[in-house]
């Protein structure tokens, strides 16, 4: 089992953002939240406590287990590596990664304890905070509107973590639980024969020369759709209903 990264919120201002960050973390299988000097203190008291819980929407255990630190340096002291998210480029010479690159790197070191630093709303991390981090994560954004909400920034990193962790199993089995089984080519061919026979009778094919192209175009529609065996039976029922019903015979007869 991998050690999961810790999310470290430095001087967060709004308790709603702490709650929303906890929710995003739990959505994405992260659990360890660290707080450096949150504006409203920690643990929260009413009414902030309730406002954070509403935003957490059930991720209470993350809030309850969140640990409080006096400084960023203290919050990262036990970690093997720290990545700081920042929108601004600073006078710091450190490697800059995008969220995907950073998480790929983190996932490749499963035995190390990693921290992801997020700065306060509006102002972001200051240089003293960045000194605690070995690398910078830059979230790409619209250059004219680049400031993400704090919980949204947490989500982007948490989501990349989730995608990275899910990568192997996801490729294995495409989730399609209700699919019975795909039709065989033989079943499809019988369906095509049925349809084309009826179209022939219905004088659908304007000329013999055109017929092969028209047949091919029609078949492609169904081939693209990857029909199940049940859908083949349903569609043969459709052909029959359109051509053989007594009501229709009377109407057109």
Please, which of residues 69-88 interact with a copy of itself by CB under 8 A?
A: none
Which of 126, 159, 190, 219: binder of a copy of itself (CB under 8 A)? 159
Task: For residue 187, state whether it binds a copy of itself (rule: CB under 8 A).
Answer: no
Cα(48)–Cα(14) distance, integer angstroms: 9
Among 46, 70, 208, 224, binds a copy of itself (CB under 8 A): 224
- Toward a copy of itself, which CB reaches closer, 36 or 129? 129
With both helix axes pointing from N to C terminus, report the angle between 229-244 and 185-201 in degrees, rounded to the nearest 10.
10
CB of 176 to a copy of itself, least distance (A): 6
Q: Which of 91, 111, 186, 208 binds a copy of itself (CB under 8 A)?
A: 91
Environment class of residue 94 by beta-carbon count within 10 Å: exposed (0-12), middle (13-18) or buried (19+)? middle
Tell me which residues in 16-45 interact with a copy of itself (CB under 8 A): 20, 23-24, 26-29
CB nearer a copy of itself, residue 73 or residue 225:
225
Instruction: Give yes or no for residue 234 binding a copy of itself (CB under 8 A).
Output: yes
Q: How many helices (H) and strands (E) does the chain have?
A: 11, 7
Q: SS3 of 228, please?
A: strand
CA atoms within 13 A on the CB side of 186: 0
Spell out, one character per residue from 92 to 111, where the chain touches a copy of itself: x when CB under 8 A holds, - when not: xx-xx-x-x-----------
In a 10 Å sphere around its CB, with 0-12 CB exposed, 13-18 middle and 19+ buried, how is residue 108 labelled? exposed
Question: Are 8 and 75 in contact, with CB atoms under 8 Å apart?
Answer: yes
Q: Which range, of 67-75, 110-118, 124-132, 232-240, touches a copy of itself by CB under 8 A?
A: 232-240
| 152 is a site residue for a copy of itself (CB under 8 A) | yes
């Amino acid at each position: 089992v991998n050690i999961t990264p810790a999310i470290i919120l430095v001087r967060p201002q709004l308790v709603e953002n702490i709650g929303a960050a906890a929710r995003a973390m739990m959505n994405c299988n992260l659990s360890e939240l660290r707080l450096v000097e949150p504006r409203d203190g920690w643990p929260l008291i009413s009414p902030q406590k309730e406002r954070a819980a509403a935003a957490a929407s059930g991720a209470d255990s993350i809030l309850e287990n969140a640990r409080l630190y006096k400084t960023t340096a203290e919050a990262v002291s036990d970690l093997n590596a720290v990545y700081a998210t920042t929108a601004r480029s600073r006078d710091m010479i450190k490697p800059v990664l995008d969220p995907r690159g950073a998480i790929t790197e983190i996932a490749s070191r499963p035995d190390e304890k990693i921290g992801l630093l997020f700065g306060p709303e509006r102002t972001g991390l200051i240089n003293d905070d960045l000194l605690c981090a070995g690398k910078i994560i830059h979230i790409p954004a619209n250059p004219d509107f680049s400031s993400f909400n704090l919980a949204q920034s947490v989500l982007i990193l948490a989501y990349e973590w989730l995608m990275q962790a899910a990568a192997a199993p996801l490729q294995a089995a495409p989730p399609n639980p209700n699919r019975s089984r795909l039709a065989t080519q033989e079943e499809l061919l019988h369906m095509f024969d049925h349809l084309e026979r009826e179209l022939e009778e219905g004088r659908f094919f304007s000329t013999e020369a055109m017929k092969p192209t028209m047949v091919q175009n029609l078949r492609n529609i169904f081939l693209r759709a990857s029909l199940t065996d049940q859908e083949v039976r349903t569609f043969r029922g459709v052909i029959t209903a359109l051509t053989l019903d007594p009501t229709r015979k009377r109407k057109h007869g």
